Amino acid sequence: MGKAHDLTSIIDGCKENDRHSQELLYRTFFPAMAQMCHRYTQDQDRIIDIVNNGFLRAFQKIHLYEHKGSFEGWLRRLIFHSISDYFKKENRYLKFLILEEKDDAIRDEAIHSLYYDDLMKLIDDLPHMSKQVFVLFAIEGRSHEEIGDSLGIQEGTSKWHLSNARKILKQRIQTMQSNEHYAR
């Protein structure tokens, strides 16, 4: 309870633009947010830029957080938007953890031929529960145990939905690439 109370106090301080509270919030969540960014780039300078831009966005919008739901989840969504903005701005492709390691050739080709918006459309079209699990795992960096707890499903069910999402995305990427090849 003390920890939740402390986080509530820190968030309230951030809403009042208190620099000390902002520093505490930053120090508390920086490691987890940097870890999330590390899934998309291993360049430490980029990671720091992305996380810092995400925290700037969080401090600008923190007045909208109403202490309902997980603050970390709210912050992760803002950091993810910072990731996507970074890759859009740099005109690079956003690397999602869509395919398993054994699918390296397909994944590499997909990354080079699909843009962010194409990937997001593919993800949005996934079956609801598989989409939720995929987003929580691949984008927010949650473990299957955490996903199971938050969605009220078994850890094994979470793994199945991730596998299902990857299988569907792999098929759709291959279809898109095949269609693209014939269109040339």
* Residues 82 and 149: beta-carbon distance below 8 Å: no
Same domain for 105 and 80, yes or no, is: no
Residue 163: inside a domain, yes or no? yes
* 66 and 135 fall within a common domain: no
Looking at the 3D structure of the chain, how many domains does it have?
2
CA distance 114 to 111: 6
CB-CB contact of 59 with 41 (8 Å) = no
With beta carbons less than 8 A apart as the criterion, state whether 154 and 144 touch: no
pLDDT in tens, the chain (184 residues): 445 559 999 999 999 999 999 999 999 999 999 988 877 777 788 899 999 999 999 999 999 998 888 898 889 888 888 887 777 666 444 444 444 444 444 444 444 445 555 777 788 889 999 988 988 887 666 789 989 998 999 999 999 999 999 899 888 877 876 765 444 4
Question: What string of DSSP letters covers 90-145?
Answer: TT-------S-GGGHHHHHHHHHH--HHHHHHHHHTS-HHHHHHHIIIIIT---HH
CATH code of residue 124: 1.10.10.10
pLDDT digits (tens, 9 = 90+) for 113-127: 455 557 777 888 899
pTM confidence score? 0.53
120 occurs within a structural domain: yes
Domain-located, residue 28: yes
Residue 14: CATH number of its domain: 1.10.1740.10
Taking only the tens place, the pLDDT of each residue in 11-31 is 999 999 999 999 999 999 999
Separation CA 140–CA 134 (nearest Å):
9
Residue identified by tokens 């903005």 is 85
Taking the CA of residue 8 as centre, how many other CA atoms within 13 Å lie in the half-sphere pointing to its CB? 9
> Residue 96 falls within a domain, yes or no?
no
Residue 95 within any structural domain of the chain? no
Task: Assess whether 7 and 57 both reside in one domain.
Answer: yes
Range of the domain at 136: 101-183
Question: Does any domain span residue 146?
Answer: yes
Domain boundary among 89, 114, 129: 89
pLDDT of residue 138: 76
Decide if 14 contacts 28 (C-beta within 8 A). no
Same-domain status, 7 and 66: yes
Q: How far apart, in whole angstroms, are the C-alpha atoms of residue 20 and residue 71?
A: 18
Task: Report if residue 94 sits inside a domain.
Answer: no
Query: What burial letters (b/e) apply to 68-107, b meaning 16+ CB within 10 Å?
Result: eeebeebbbebbbebbbebbeeeeebbbbbbbeeeeeebb
